[in-house]
A and B are shown apart, each in its own frame.
Chain A
Amino acid sequence: GAGVSQSPRYKVAKRGQDVALRCDPISGHVSLFWYQQALGQGPEFLTYFQNEAQLDKSGLPSDRFFAERPEGSVSTLKIQRTQQEDSAVYLCASSPGGPSTDTQYFGPGTRLTVL
């Protein structure tokens, strides 16, 4: 079956531009996570959705970062006024039920480069 998909796979933005990154989770998955992975590092938690509710956004680095999942399926991570330090791979993951014990299924990521 289809896994988690993300688009675009690569995005180049000029500093100050806004970007939108899309995540299509596995159909029916309740939980959705966003992570930021800098070069040579492990993924860092950004935010968590349970269906359409954003239950944890403690990892969002600034108010320039905004995520939504309005219908409980597709999610969008938006970054406003991009800065060079935003350059990273953005990973999306979904899991079937609650977040605690479920395995997360990861997408391939979107590599964002801010010039």
Chain B
Amino acid sequence: AQSVAQPEDQVNVAEGNPLTVKCTYSVSGNPYLFWYVQYPNRGLQFLLKYITGDNLVKGSYGFEAEFNKSQTSFHLKKPSALVSDSALYFCAVRDTNTGGFKTIFGAGTRLFVKA
């Protein structure tokens, strides 16, 4: 069965410092991997995705993520955090073996960026 784990409920970082939000996954086939962000009182917004190709994926707002097949990870990173990055971040996976309809989301990681 496919699953996603976000081991940290919360990540705290100072503005200007690099940030990492961790995600690991489990699928039977090849994964399609996604990161979404949820700001207060707003819907989930797409940040980036890995489908195939380069393991390093660049997305919106300066975020990037690295697909690591051996470690089954897809950690979200940003070189220099902004206070405005404070939000709830969700990692998600689709398993190519299951037809690709079902997206499994992690429980979310709340990011606090302190000025």
Chain B CB count within 10 A is highest, among A33, A42, A59, A107, for: A42
Contact of A98 among B42, B100, B108 (CB under 8 A): B100
Contacts of A45 in B (CB 8 A): 102-104
Judge whether A100 and B32 touch: CB under 8 Å: yes
Residues of chain A within 8 A of B101, CB atoms compared:
48, 55-56, 99
Residue in A33, A56, A104, A105 whose CB lies within 8 Å of B99: A56
What's the interface size class on A, roughly?
Answer: 20 to 34
Give the distance to chain B from A88, nearest Cβ to Cβ, in Å. 13
Q: Is the CB of A100 within 8 A of B43?
A: no
Task: Tell me the smallest distance from the CB of B50 to a CB of chain A, in Å.
Answer: 10
Say whether B46 contacts A103, CB under 8 Å: yes
Q: Judge if A101 is at the interface, Cβ distance under 8 Å.
A: yes
Residue from A48, A100, A108 whose CB has the most chain B CB atoms within 10 Å: A100
A-B contact pairs, 11 of them (CB 8 A): A40-B108, A42-B105, A42-B106, A58-B102, A100-B94, A100-B96, A101-B32, A104-B46, A104-B103, A106-B43, A106-B45
Residues of B bordering A, CB below 8 Å = 4, 32, 34, 36, 41-46, 49, 51, 90, 92, 94, 96, 99-108
Which residues of A approach B to under 8 Å, CB–CB?
A: 3-4, 33, 35, 40-45, 48, 55-56, 58-59, 91, 93, 98-101, 103-109
Query: What are the 7 closest A-B residue pairs judged by CB atoms, nearest first?
Result: A100-B100, A42-B105, A106-B43, A56-B101, A106-B44, A48-B101, A103-B46
